[in-house]
Structure 1
Amino acid sequence: MANMPMDIVTDVFVRLPASMLVRCRVLSKPCFSLIDSPDLVASHLKRTLETEEHLMILLQSDRLLRTVYLDAPDKLSDVENPLPTGGFTEVFGSVNGLIGLTNSPVDLSIFNPSTRKIHRLPFEPIDFPQHSITRQYVFYGLGHDSVSDDYKVVRMVQCKHKDGAGGYPYEIKVFSLKSNKWKRIHLRFEVQNLLVRFYYNLTYRSGNGVLASNSFHWILPRSEGYIEFNTVIRFDLSSDDLGVLSFPEELYHEDYMDIGVLDGCLCLMCYCDFSHVDVWILSEYGGKWSKFITVPTSKTVVSLEFVRPLVYSKDRSKILLEINNGKLFWFDLGSKSFEMLVIKGYDEDRPWNVEIVVSSLVLGCKGDPRRAREKKMMQKVNKRCYCSSLYCALLLVLIP
């Protein structure tokens, strides 16, 4: 290692999963500095996103977090929940290797499960009486603003009165990781009028903002007497503007819908009497929607209460679908057949929430300073083991 040129070391490091790079930091001071450098963090993320290597499936249930690499489903790993005990942990999105975690509307964190680095957001009160809000009235979004190169969390809260008198007051606040501050968003009058007159009445899964083209998206379902057609609302991370996105006319009056994202493109899932699900896609942002696939029931999948496309297979012949309570199936685009993704040690009878997470060094590798026990364990590790691991990784990378 001492005589190896740093440009070769850098080329090796950008190809390794972030969890291995965390361990490689103890090899030497130059390795430590290189892995913590902004240039390597950016290069590693760029290559991971381009090649789609080291993709992980994050599984969350109650306070349990687990990860497994998509191409190695027999190696399920537990991730220690970094939030204080006492609450039901929710995951509200994933971007560039980071996930959003919350135990309550005012207890929010950004967490990197690869490096175990966490950033706890400063406390930001909700400007409504506590008795008028429950957790299902709070909607989140975690995203990366490509314009300002900043990671942001959006928290949208609606206050529901029992009789609905006076409409449904709301607030939108945005957290910036760069400034480590929250700010209140004030909207245009026409958008304010739309929100105040209508209550979202969305489930938890539908309530999380879907990130595409630097904006979060939510479905605003039609409500008799208020909104005649289903609508997609969008919040631009750069301009802090909330507006309306085009919606396919064929779905104006559908009653059961959800929204997702596949390969950076927005998707709408239309449930048809739970016998099949039509998936519509917006291939070009700002363009026209088109019907993408129809997911049918089968002997393998007998009900379709919830369907969400997650990721393409490497040859793009299949799509990984989350169906119902965290069950994962590969859906063949040609044969329309299903193949269950078998994860060793995965409890299929337990309800899970699923996110696709890339392996990245975003947020850094230093870890939470309160995790003293883990820090001491890392200091006792034999460096020669890491040298051997890196040498093996070097051979795998450089030998064709």
Structure 2
Amino acid sequence: MIEDPFKSKKDVVFYSSCNGLVLMNNPWSEEENDIMLWNPSTAEIKQIPKPGDDHPIAANSGSVKNYQYSHLYGLEYGRIDDDYKILRLRVCYDKRNGVCCGCEVKVYTLRTNLWKTIPYEFSYDLYLRCTVQNLIRASGALHWIQAPCASLAQEHKSISRVIVSFNVEHDIFKQVPLNSGLQELLISDDPYKSSRAEGAFLSY
């Protein structure tokens, strides 16, 4: 049992929710990227363990001080395993030019209370123009908009955005086929149109 998290001194950040469970930061922890599951109905929490040692993503000879990391989280329920899973995307950026260097994918399973790394070559940027996005739940998978790192390295002259999904039951990534309307919204550099693409996807 816990007190109201909104009464904590630290800012409350909600990452995702599923079937009444809320994935959020731990507002009582001093550690960065500490997350927990909160059931508002019962006031119960589940502290999520750390995913283990995080290694540098960028394979280069430069100093690690030139790189910074951001995290994106999503929560989904898998009907086959009757279990909840947390997806963590850890994105690496070059501080000198703001270009994404890669992403590490890990999945936490509530039943086992363990994390595992998904071996996936992830050369996409998830924070388009530094705009933090939420993972969208639909049909047993988590979805988000991203852009190839190669196009971002070209000073944003030609950014090709796509929608990617992660199926939590089979740990499979795939690119979602788009109709012409969604493609037009994703190509636009207008952040308003990009947000419209998220809404349009939900009814797609």
TM-score (normalizing by structure 2): 0.73
Structure 1 counterpart of 2:24: 101
1:114 maps onto 2:41 in alignment:
yes
Measured at CA, do residues 159 and 114 of structure 1 come closer, stay the same or move farther in structure 2, by a change above 3 Å? same
Which of 216, 237, 256 aligns to 2:168? It is 237
Structure 2 counterpart of 1:133: 68
Matches within 5 A, 1:296-375: none
Structure 1 counterpart of 2:113: 180
| Alignment size in residue pairs | 179
How far apart, CA to CA, are the structure 2 residues paired with 1:123 and 1:82? 23
Query: Which structure features the higher share of helix residues?
Result: 1
Identity value in percent: 25
1:201-224 residue CA offsets vs partner (Å, 9 max, x unmatched) = 3423x1x21111111000114746
Report the alpha carbon displacement of residue 248 of structure 1 after superposing the two structures with TM: 2.6
Matches within 5 A, 1:1-400: 80-81=4-5, 87-103=10-26, 106-125=33-52, 126-128=54-56, 132-134=67-69, 137-163=70-96, 168-187=101-120, 192=121, 195-196=122-123, 198-202=124-128, 203-204=131-132, 206=133, 208-221=134-147, 223=151, 225=154, 229-252=160-183, 253-255=187-189, 256=191, 257-258=193-194, 269-270=196-197, 279-281=199-201, 283=203, 289=204
Report the alpha carbon displacement of residue 243 of structure 1 after superposing the two structures with TM: 1.6
- Structure 2 unaligned blocks of 5 or more: 57-63
- Structure 1 unaligned blocks of 5 or more: 1-78, 260-268, 271-277, 284-288, 290-400
Report the alpha carbon displacement of residue 230 of structure 1 after superposing the two structures with TM: 2.2
Report the alpha carbon displacement of residue 235 of structure 1 after superposing the two structures with TM: 0.8
How far apart, CA to CA, are the structure 1 residues paired with 2:142 and 2:66? 28
How far apart, CA to CA, are the structure 2 residues paired with 1:211 and 1:130? 35
Q: Between Structure 1 and Structure 2, whose CA radius of gyration is higher?
A: 1
Measured at CA, do residues 240 and 117 of structure 1 come closer, stay the same or move farther in structure 2, by a change above 3 Å? same
Please provide the CA RMSD for this pair: 3.2
Structure 2 counterpart of 1:73: none
Residue 200 of structure 2 aligns to which amino acid in structure 1?
W
Measured at CA, do residues 281 and 219 of structure 1 come closer, stay the same or move farther in structure 2, by a change above 3 Å? closer
Residue 55 of structure 2 aligns to which amino acid in structure 1?
D
Measured at CA, do residues 166 and 230 of structure 1 come closer, stay the same or move farther in structure 2, by a change above 3 Å? closer
Aligned residues of 1:173 and 1:185 also touching (Cα < 8 A): yes
How far apart, CA to CA, are the structure 1 residues paired with 2:108 and 2:188? 34
Aligned residues of 1:233 and 1:245 also touching (Cα < 8 A): yes
TM-score (normalizing by structure 1): 0.40
